[in-house]
Chain A
């Protein structure tokens, strides 16, 4: 399979402190890579380094030439008071009017009906759906998602993960996802990478997510995560 992203020996030091070190991985066309690790392991920073938002101090992240990429931050930080309607936000982010196909897409992710509302009035789940819609409207070859379901009340019929999976199945794109959602990682990821500043493991979820490796990755924080994994019968 063709690689669309190759990350080699990526590292970041701030004031002499190692934030990330020796991270190497690649992403195949239409592949799904899940990044896991404890809080403070540098997962979000890694994604930002790969995207160039944060400049890494060593190593490289090389995308296939001319690739279209999209990024869905963990929590879209913005001033809730910012007077902008959902529709205006979409038109600005999308760089112009929406085609019929785009409109159908926004209907499908369930946000078209919100276009007249103030962006700041959306719930966490609605915002994530909107961000997924916007990301997909770019017709990207790769999407980076940072814990897309964090802090979201999964009360709806379809979870954010179901939506992501459904759209990936339909549109075909690669995903790099930071996630603690065990179901998603096990069922859909082709590859999982555990990091804690360094790479702890990488490979197929079934092989990698063993008790021993998880213990090494999460260390003292394992208790926090263990019940999640245990509950699902993975550990």
Chain B
């Protein structure tokens, strides 16, 4: 009896799965989710190891100002968002070297200032309506083919830059003084890292929204850190958990008719809580 019930359920699931992927928008969502998920998961390791989660969060939210400025000056909001994120990141880095202010305080000021600026500009623009819910939560099911191309280009860029620079990123994350004495160019590496995070954030927001971007930039590494005792495990698990959350979130949202972005985030948070119990 139980066996039959199980079989029926499995059959139903397989049927539903194949049904999901008949839709082109679901295929695109899944493909975009996988690409963005992998890029963000790999980068999340450096963000978490460098304790820059709050920075990632701030850049993501602050990009709203980029959208506002783009609309104000008639520039494609996506382009202005990328520019604003990169320049904003470099500005924070520049300010950090010139003030004794706590890095977190500096980021907090930038964060709130940029979000306020974004909302003010957008509010003042006549005849323009920006869907803030879309900005916050994105619409992975509405991913277009051009979005997909952009995300693939981004992924290739992230991979190559990380392959080239990962050793220096890790060295700086581990101990800046040691890295300096070993001849790592701290400033240049910082700039590369900030530009990398800003670019990934801007592109990921376009595809999945701010909340999911921040989640994907922190959670995969945070979950993986719970179960890893070395870097090899950290990187493998972060990709696994990033992808697992994305895929389960997308499929789950179809089943339960829930919003996709928040479903992915919830899955990742549950994984984080669960792995915290087995922290090594």
Contact = CB atoms under 8 A, between A and B. Distances in A.
A17 to B, nearest CB: 13
Contacts, number: 56
B230 interface: yes
B222 to A, nearest CB: 11
B93 to A, nearest CB: 17
A51 B181 contact: yes
Interface in A52-107: 52-53, 69-71, 73, 76-79, 81-85, 88-89, 92-93, 95
Interface in B265-280: 280
Contact of B234 (A52, A53, A71, A83): A83
Interface stretch (B66-74, B166-174, B200-208, B246-254): B166-174
A226 interface: no
B13 to A, nearest CB: 35
A83 B228 contact: yes
B185 interface: no
B129 interface: no
Contacts of B280: 118
A28 B225 CA distance: 46
A8 interface: no
Interface size range on B against A: 20 to 34
Given A73-B177, A93-B171, A88 B225 contact: no
B114 to A, nearest CB: 29
B231 interface: yes
Nearest to B174: A78
Given A73-B175, A82-B49, A83-B231, A92 B181 contact: no
A93 B177 CA distance: 12
A82 B167 CA distance: 15
B231 A85 contact: yes
A88 B171 contact: no
Contacts of A78: 174-175
Main secondary structure of the interface of B (DSSP, over half): helix
Contact of B230 (A51, A81, A93, A118): A118
A79 to B, nearest CB: 8
B255 interface: no
A85 B234 CA distance: 11
A81 B225 contact: yes
Contact of B167 (A70, A76, A79, A95): A95
A48 interface: yes
B167 A83 contact: no
A53 B177 contact: yes
B177 A88 contact: no
Contacts of B224: 83
B98 to A, nearest CB: 13
Nearest to B227: A83
Interface of A: 48, 51-53, 69-71, 73, 76-79, 81-85, 88-89, 92-93, 95, 118
Interface of B: 49, 51, 167, 170-171, 173-175, 177-178, 180-182, 224-225, 228-234, 280
Given A71-B178, A92-B171, 18 more contacts: A48-B177, A51-B180, A52-B180, A53-B177, A69-B181, A70-B181, A79-B51, A83-B230, A83-B233, A84-B174, A84-B231, A85-B231, A88-B231, A93-B178, A93-B182, A95-B167, A118-B229, A118-B280
